[in-house]
Protein backbone atom coordinates (compact mmCIF):
# COMPACT_ATOMS: atom_id res chain seq x y z
CA UNK A 1 0.00 0.00 0.00
CA UNK A 2 1.04 3.61 -0.37
CA UNK A 3 2.86 5.28 2.51
CA UNK A 4 3.67 8.98 2.12
CA UNK A 5 6.65 10.24 3.99
CA UNK A 6 8.88 13.30 4.09
CA UNK A 7 12.42 12.03 3.94
CA UNK A 8 14.68 13.88 6.43
CA UNK A 9 18.06 15.16 5.35
CA UNK A 10 21.23 14.34 7.21
CA UNK A 11 20.92 17.34 9.53
CA UNK A 12 17.29 16.88 10.54
CA UNK A 13 16.55 15.97 14.14
CA UNK A 14 13.29 14.49 15.40
CA UNK A 15 12.31 13.26 11.95
CA UNK A 16 8.98 11.53 11.77
CA UNK A 17 7.73 8.85 9.45
CA UNK A 18 4.63 6.82 8.83
CA UNK A 19 4.68 3.08 9.36
CA UNK A 20 1.68 2.13 7.24
CA UNK A 21 -0.87 3.43 4.76
CA UNK A 22 -1.55 7.16 4.94
CA UNK A 23 -4.63 9.00 3.72
CA UNK A 24 -2.73 11.91 2.16
CA UNK A 25 -1.44 9.78 -0.72
CA UNK A 26 -4.89 8.43 -1.54
CA UNK A 27 -5.64 10.72 -4.52
CA UNK A 28 -2.48 9.47 -6.25
CA UNK A 29 -3.12 5.84 -5.32
CA UNK A 30 -6.72 5.99 -6.51
CA UNK A 31 -5.66 7.25 -9.93
CA UNK A 32 -3.09 4.48 -10.25
CA UNK A 33 -5.51 1.79 -9.13
CA UNK A 34 -8.32 3.00 -11.38
CA UNK A 35 -6.55 1.47 -14.38
CA UNK A 36 -5.93 -1.94 -12.81
CA UNK A 37 -9.46 -3.36 -12.95
CA UNK A 38 -9.29 -3.04 -16.74
CA UNK A 39 -5.86 -4.65 -16.78
CA UNK A 40 -6.79 -7.50 -14.43
CA UNK A 41 -9.94 -8.42 -16.34
CA UNK A 42 -8.11 -8.82 -19.62
CA UNK A 43 -6.14 -11.82 -20.75
CA UNK A 44 -2.42 -11.87 -20.00
CA UNK A 45 0.31 -14.28 -21.05
CA UNK A 46 1.34 -16.84 -18.45
CA UNK A 47 5.00 -17.45 -17.70
CA UNK A 48 4.44 -20.53 -15.58
CA UNK A 49 1.93 -21.76 -13.01
CA UNK A 50 3.50 -22.19 -9.54
CA UNK A 51 0.28 -23.76 -8.30
CA UNK A 52 0.61 -26.85 -10.43
CA UNK A 53 2.66 -28.22 -7.53
CA UNK A 54 0.13 -27.09 -4.91
CA UNK A 55 -3.29 -28.15 -6.20
CA UNK A 56 -4.76 -28.25 -2.67
CA UNK A 57 -3.95 -24.62 -1.81
CA UNK A 58 -6.94 -23.51 0.26
CA UNK A 59 -9.12 -21.00 -1.59
CA UNK A 60 -6.90 -20.93 -4.66
CA UNK A 61 -9.59 -21.97 -7.14
CA UNK A 62 -8.95 -18.96 -9.36
CA UNK A 63 -5.31 -19.98 -9.57
CA UNK A 64 -5.60 -23.76 -9.77
CA UNK A 65 -8.74 -24.66 -11.72
CA UNK A 66 -7.02 -23.65 -14.94
CA UNK A 67 -3.52 -24.96 -15.51
CA UNK A 68 -2.20 -22.74 -18.31
CA UNK A 69 0.86 -23.68 -20.26
CA UNK A 70 3.59 -21.13 -20.85
CA UNK A 71 2.30 -18.54 -23.32
CA UNK A 72 -1.37 -19.25 -22.75
CA UNK A 73 -3.63 -16.46 -21.53
CA UNK A 74 -5.01 -16.16 -17.99
CA UNK A 75 -7.57 -13.87 -16.39
CA UNK A 76 -7.65 -12.65 -12.76
CA UNK A 77 -11.26 -11.46 -12.33
CA UNK A 78 -11.23 -11.66 -8.54
CA UNK A 79 -8.19 -9.44 -8.20
CA UNK A 80 -9.57 -7.04 -10.82
CA UNK A 81 -12.86 -6.79 -8.91
CA UNK A 82 -11.13 -6.01 -5.63
CA UNK A 83 -8.82 -3.43 -7.18
CA UNK A 84 -11.88 -1.73 -8.63
CA UNK A 85 -13.38 -1.60 -5.14
CA UNK A 86 -10.17 -0.11 -3.71
CA UNK A 87 -10.00 2.51 -6.46
CA UNK A 88 -13.60 3.47 -5.77
CA UNK A 89 -13.78 3.29 -1.98
CA UNK A 90 -10.28 3.00 -0.50
CA UNK A 91 -9.26 0.64 2.30
CA UNK A 92 -12.78 0.45 3.74
CA UNK A 93 -14.10 -0.98 0.47
CA UNK A 94 -11.43 -3.67 0.67
CA UNK A 95 -11.35 -4.67 4.33
CA UNK A 96 -15.02 -4.06 5.03
CA UNK A 97 -16.26 -5.24 1.65
CA UNK A 98 -16.13 -8.51 -0.27
CA UNK A 99 -12.57 -9.35 0.71
CA UNK A 100 -13.09 -8.62 4.40
CA UNK A 101 -16.25 -10.72 4.58
CA UNK A 102 -14.52 -13.65 2.89
CA UNK A 103 -11.48 -13.32 5.17
CA UNK A 104 -13.63 -13.37 8.31
CA UNK A 105 -15.38 -16.50 7.08
CA UNK A 106 -12.07 -18.14 6.21
CA UNK A 107 -10.51 -17.27 9.57
CA UNK A 108 -13.30 -18.87 11.62
CA UNK A 109 -12.63 -16.59 14.57
CA UNK A 110 -8.94 -15.86 13.92
CA UNK A 111 -9.88 -12.32 12.86
CA UNK A 112 -12.69 -10.00 13.92
CA UNK A 113 -14.54 -7.26 12.09
CA UNK A 114 -12.87 -4.74 14.41
CA UNK A 115 -9.45 -6.04 13.36
CA UNK A 116 -10.23 -5.19 9.74
CA UNK A 117 -12.00 -1.90 10.41
CA UNK A 118 -9.23 -0.43 12.58
CA UNK A 119 -6.26 1.10 10.73
CA UNK A 120 -2.97 0.29 12.39
CA UNK A 121 -0.89 3.14 10.98
CA UNK A 122 1.23 5.01 13.50
CA UNK A 123 3.22 8.23 13.19
CA UNK A 124 6.48 7.47 14.93
CA UNK A 125 9.79 9.15 15.67
CA UNK A 126 12.39 7.95 13.19
CA UNK A 127 15.33 5.95 14.52
CA UNK A 128 18.72 7.41 13.62
CA UNK A 129 22.41 6.76 13.99
CA UNK A 130 25.60 8.50 12.80
CA UNK A 131 27.75 6.36 10.50
CA UNK A 132 30.61 7.40 8.18
CA UNK A 133 29.87 11.07 8.75
CA UNK A 134 26.19 10.83 7.79
CA UNK A 135 22.97 10.47 9.72
CA UNK A 136 21.08 7.31 8.77
CA UNK A 137 17.35 7.00 9.45
CA UNK A 138 14.90 4.13 9.63
CA UNK A 139 11.49 3.20 11.05
CA UNK A 140 11.71 1.89 14.64
CA UNK A 141 10.36 -1.44 15.92
CA UNK A 142 8.28 -3.34 15.31
CA UNK A 143 10.07 -2.90 11.97
CA UNK A 144 13.43 -4.59 11.64
CA UNK A 145 14.86 -1.46 10.07
CA UNK A 146 17.29 -1.12 12.98
CA UNK A 147 19.29 -3.97 11.46
CA UNK A 148 20.45 -1.85 8.52
CA UNK A 149 21.70 0.85 10.85
CA UNK A 150 23.31 -1.61 13.26
CA UNK A 151 25.10 -3.46 10.47
CA UNK A 152 26.42 -0.19 9.03
CA UNK A 153 27.79 0.89 12.41
CA UNK A 154 29.37 -2.52 13.03
CA UNK A 155 31.05 -2.34 9.62
CA UNK A 156 32.35 1.11 10.51
CA UNK A 157 33.67 -0.06 13.88
CA UNK A 158 35.60 -3.03 12.51
CA UNK A 159 37.24 -0.93 9.79
CA UNK A 160 38.26 2.02 11.95
CA UNK A 161 41.82 3.09 11.20
CA UNK A 162 42.02 1.12 7.97
CA UNK A 163 40.85 1.46 4.39
CA UNK A 164 37.39 0.18 3.60
CA UNK A 165 37.65 -2.89 1.32
CA UNK A 166 37.20 -2.38 -2.39
CA UNK A 167 33.93 -3.86 -3.74
CA UNK A 168 36.02 -6.01 -6.08
CA UNK A 169 37.79 -7.54 -3.08
CA UNK A 170 36.25 -10.57 -1.39
CA UNK A 171 36.89 -8.86 1.94
CA UNK A 172 34.19 -6.32 1.04
CA UNK A 173 31.46 -8.97 0.75
CA UNK A 174 32.76 -10.74 3.86
CA UNK A 175 32.58 -7.52 5.85
CA UNK A 176 29.03 -6.71 4.84
CA UNK A 177 27.76 -10.26 5.31
CA UNK A 178 29.34 -10.64 8.72
CA UNK A 179 28.25 -7.18 9.88
CA UNK A 180 24.69 -8.09 8.96
CA UNK A 181 24.98 -11.45 10.68
CA UNK A 182 26.34 -9.89 13.87
CA UNK A 183 23.61 -7.25 13.85
CA UNK A 184 20.74 -9.66 13.28
CA UNK A 185 21.57 -13.03 14.81
CA UNK A 186 19.42 -12.32 17.88
CA UNK A 187 16.56 -10.63 16.03
CA UNK A 188 13.94 -13.28 16.93
CA UNK A 189 14.66 -12.72 20.62
CA UNK A 190 14.74 -8.92 20.67
CA UNK A 191 12.38 -7.68 17.94
CA UNK A 192 8.77 -7.14 18.96
CA UNK A 193 6.12 -4.43 19.13
CA UNK A 194 7.49 -2.88 22.32
CA UNK A 195 11.20 -3.18 21.50
CA UNK A 196 13.33 -0.13 22.24
CA UNK A 197 15.01 0.87 18.99
CA UNK A 198 17.51 3.16 20.69
CA UNK A 199 18.59 0.34 23.01
CA UNK A 200 19.08 -1.96 20.03
CA UNK A 201 21.49 0.63 18.60
CA UNK A 202 23.22 1.42 21.90
CA UNK A 203 27.00 2.01 21.40
CA UNK A 204 27.98 -0.67 23.90
CA UNK A 205 25.71 -3.22 22.25
CA UNK A 206 27.12 -2.59 18.77
CA UNK A 207 30.69 -2.52 20.08
CA UNK A 208 30.18 -5.94 21.68
CA UNK A 209 28.82 -7.28 18.40
CA UNK A 210 31.73 -5.80 16.43
CA UNK A 211 34.20 -7.51 18.79
CA UNK A 212 33.07 -10.85 17.33
CA UNK A 213 34.12 -9.93 13.79
CA UNK A 214 36.87 -12.06 12.28
CA UNK A 215 38.28 -10.78 8.97
CA UNK A 216 39.38 -14.30 8.05
CA UNK A 217 36.36 -16.41 8.97
CA UNK A 218 32.63 -16.29 9.52
CA UNK A 219 31.36 -15.79 13.02
CA UNK A 220 29.74 -18.59 14.95
CA UNK A 221 26.39 -16.80 14.91
CA UNK A 222 23.59 -18.09 12.73
CA UNK A 223 21.73 -15.67 10.49
CA UNK A 224 17.98 -15.66 11.23
CA UNK A 225 16.99 -14.87 7.65
CA UNK A 226 15.26 -17.29 5.31
CA UNK A 227 14.47 -17.19 1.61
CA UNK A 228 11.87 -14.73 0.43
CA UNK A 229 11.04 -12.17 -2.20
CA UNK A 230 9.59 -8.69 -2.44
CA UNK A 231 8.51 -6.43 -5.29
CA UNK A 232 9.08 -2.77 -4.47
CA UNK A 233 9.04 0.63 -6.11
CA UNK A 234 9.06 4.21 -4.91
CA UNK A 235 8.97 7.74 -6.27
CA UNK A 236 10.13 10.92 -4.54
CA UNK A 237 9.38 14.35 -5.94
CA UNK A 238 11.49 17.50 -5.79
CA UNK A 239 9.72 18.59 -2.59
CA UNK A 240 10.67 15.42 -0.74
CA UNK A 241 7.24 13.75 -0.85
CA UNK A 242 7.66 10.04 -1.37
CA UNK A 243 5.24 7.27 -2.32
CA UNK A 244 6.37 3.80 -1.36
CA UNK A 245 4.65 0.77 -2.88
CA UNK A 246 5.43 -2.76 -1.79
CA UNK A 247 4.14 -6.19 -2.77
CA UNK A 248 5.45 -8.91 -0.53
CA UNK A 249 4.39 -12.43 0.33
CA UNK A 250 7.41 -12.64 2.68
CA UNK A 251 8.50 -16.23 2.10
CA UNK A 252 7.77 -18.12 -1.09
CA UNK A 253 4.08 -17.80 -1.84
CA UNK A 254 3.21 -16.62 1.64
CA UNK A 255 0.92 -18.72 3.78
CA UNK A 256 -0.30 -20.88 0.86
CA UNK A 257 -3.82 -19.80 1.79
CA UNK A 258 -6.01 -17.68 -0.45
CA UNK A 259 -9.24 -15.91 0.45
CA UNK A 260 -11.88 -17.95 -1.44
CA UNK A 261 -13.48 -16.25 -4.40
CA UNK A 262 -10.99 -13.39 -4.49
CA UNK A 263 -7.79 -14.81 -5.93
CA UNK A 264 -5.89 -13.01 -3.17
CA UNK A 265 -3.13 -14.94 -1.41
CA UNK A 266 -2.44 -14.33 2.27
CA UNK A 267 1.20 -13.50 2.97
CA UNK A 268 3.21 -14.65 5.96
CA UNK A 269 4.87 -11.30 6.55
CA UNK A 270 4.00 -11.52 10.24
CA UNK A 271 6.20 -14.59 10.60
CA UNK A 272 8.32 -12.97 13.32
CA UNK A 273 6.22 -14.28 16.19
CA UNK A 274 7.08 -16.71 18.95
CA UNK A 275 5.08 -19.63 20.30
CA UNK A 276 6.92 -19.33 23.60
CA UNK A 277 4.48 -18.32 26.33
CA UNK A 278 5.33 -14.90 27.73
CA UNK A 279 7.77 -14.00 24.96
CA UNK A 280 7.53 -10.30 23.99
CA UNK A 281 6.73 -11.40 20.42
CA UNK A 282 4.25 -14.09 21.47
CA UNK A 283 1.77 -14.93 18.72
CA UNK A 284 -0.73 -12.13 18.22
CA UNK A 285 -1.38 -9.03 16.14
CA UNK A 286 1.67 -7.17 17.51
CA UNK A 287 4.46 -9.58 16.55
CA UNK A 288 7.51 -8.15 14.82
CA UNK A 289 7.77 -8.04 11.04
CA UNK A 290 10.56 -7.98 8.49
CA UNK A 291 9.80 -4.83 6.51
CA UNK A 292 12.49 -2.16 6.65
CA UNK A 293 12.16 1.58 6.08
CA UNK A 294 13.52 1.42 2.55
CA UNK A 295 10.78 -1.13 1.85
CA UNK A 296 7.92 0.85 3.36
Instruction: Say if 220 falls within a structural domain.
Output: no
Question: Is 12 found in the same domain as 42?
Answer: no
DSSP-based helix, strand, coil % in the chain, nearest 5: 35, 20, 45
Could you report the per-residue pLDDT of 205-260, keeping only the tens digit for each? 999 999 999 999 988 887 766 666 667 888 999 998 988 887 776 777 777 788 88
Q: Is a pLDDT exceeding 80 seen at residue 291?
A: no
Domain boundary among 63, 84, 117: 117
Q: Residue 66's pLDDT band (boundaries 50, 70, 90)?
A: low
- Between 47 and 33, the more confident residue is 33
Q: Which residues contact 31 (CB under 8 A, 6 or more apart)?
A: none
Largest CA distance in the chain: 62
Domain boundary among 71, 90, 117: 117
Question: Is 108 found in the same domain as 55?
Answer: yes
Instruction: Say if 218 falls within a structural domain.
Output: no
Question: Is 143 found in the same domain as 94?
Answer: no
Question: Is 110 found in the same domain as 30?
Answer: yes
Question: Is 106 found in the same domain as 50?
Answer: yes
Question: Is 186 found in the same domain as 205?
Answer: yes
Instruction: Say if 123 falls within a structural domain.
Output: no
Question: Is 202 found in the same domain as 264?
Answer: no
Instruction: Say if 125 falls within a structural domain.
Output: no
Question: Is 80 found in the same domain as 147?
Answer: no
Distance, CA of 196 to CA of 146 (rounded, Å):
10
Instruction: Say if 249 falls within a structural domain.
Output: yes
Catalytic residue among 12, 21, 28, 230: 230
Structural domain including 40 reads: 23-117
Question: Is 28 found in the same domain as 75?
Answer: yes
Q: Is a pLDDT exceeding 60 seen at residue 85?
A: yes
Question: Is 180 found in the same domain as 235?
Answer: no
Angle CA 156–157–158, to nearest 5 = 95
Instruction: Say if 153 falls within a structural domain.
Output: yes
pLDDT at 11: 34
Q: For 270-279, what is the mean pLDDT?
A: 82
Question: Is 194 found in the same domain as 149?
Answer: yes
Residue 21 falls in the annotated catalytic set: no
pLDDT at 210: 96
Task: Output b/e per residue, 234-248; b: 16+ Cβ within 10 A.
Answer: beeeeeeebbbbbeb
User: Which ranges constitute the DSSP H helices of 41-133?
Assistant: 61-64, 77-95, 98-107, 113-117
DSSP state of 68: P
Question: Is 254 found in the same domain as 200?
Answer: no
Q: Is a pLDDT exceeding 90 seen at residue 48?
A: no
Instruction: Say if 15 falls within a structural domain.
Output: yes
Domain boundary among 69, 93, 117: 117
Number of domains in the chain: 3
Amino acid sequence: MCAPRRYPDASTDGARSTSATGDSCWPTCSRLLAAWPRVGSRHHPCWRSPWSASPTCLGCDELTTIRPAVGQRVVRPGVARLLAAVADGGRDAFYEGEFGAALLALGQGEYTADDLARPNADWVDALGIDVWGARLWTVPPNSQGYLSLAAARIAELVTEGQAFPDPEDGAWAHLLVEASRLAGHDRPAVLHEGADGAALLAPERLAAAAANFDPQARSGFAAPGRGGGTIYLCAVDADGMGVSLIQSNAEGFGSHVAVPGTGVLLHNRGIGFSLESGHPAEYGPAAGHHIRSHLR
